[in-house]
Amino acid sequence: GYQFEAAEASLELLMYRLIGEPKQYFDLLGYRVFDMQAPEEGHPTVEATVMVRVPPGVGEVEHTAASGNGPVNALDNAIRKALERFYPQLKEMVLEDYKVRVLPGSPGTGAMVRVLIFSRDQNDRWGTVGVSQDILEASCRALVDSLTYKLFKDRHKKKA
């Protein structure tokens, strides 16, 4: 299901993982997204709650919630909020574009989807991908790759 066209960062992370890199910076232990309809406000309120462990396996568990203008934005905000205390450089990056494509195979709402995210910081722009039957899970995979890539590239630039 993975196609890495325009998702060079996910492909680069995959290649490095095959040789034991990059360092895993955090574990996403779980997440929930709540979409609450508020007719009196005229728009839905979306909140995401995440649990991350930094560093992976042995570190602190950070349990955080954040809101957003949609489920993916709320999830992005919550993950960043949980991680920025450990990795303040994540404040430098922004999610620039978000695209969803239904993959051939299963029809309708049971189809696999491919989420492509483009992110940038002051120096670079990169694409990451996530694939799943669940659009939120595919989005989460692409978000985690995007955050991981930012940390990975910054670490490697310091070494150079």
47 confidence band (pLDDT: 50, 70, 90): very high
What pLDDT, on the 0 to 100 scale, is given for residue 156?
Answer: 78
Single out the residue of 137, 17, 148, 160 nearest to residue 93, CA to CA: 148
CB atoms within 10 A of CB 131: 19
Identify the three-state secondary structure at position 32.
strand
What pLDDT, on the 0 to 100 scale, is given for residue 6?
Answer: 65
Instruction: Assess whether pLDDT exceeds 70 at residue 5.
Output: no
127 confidence band (pLDDT: 50, 70, 90): very high
- Mean pLDDT of the residues in the chain: 89
Q: Kindly report which listed range (1-10, 54-63, 96-105, 133-142) carries the lowest average pLDDT score.
A: 1-10
Instruction: Assess whether pLDDT exceeds 80 at residue 99.
Output: yes
Mean pLDDT confidence for 130-152: 95
Instruction: Assess whether pLDDT exceeds 90 at residue 29.
Output: yes
Per-residue pLDDT tens over the stretch 58-74: 889 999 999 999 999 99
The sign one gets for the Cα dihedral 92, 97, 102, 103 is negative
What pLDDT, on the 0 to 100 scale, is given for residue 159?
Answer: 61
Among 3.30.160.340, 3.30.450.40, 3.40.50.12780, 3.40.50.150, name the CATH number for the domain at 1-25+91-154.
3.30.160.340
Mean pLDDT confidence for 9-34: 84
Amino acid identity of 88?
P
* Secondary-structure breakdown of the chain: helix, strand, coil percentages, each rounded to the nearest 5: 35, 35, 30
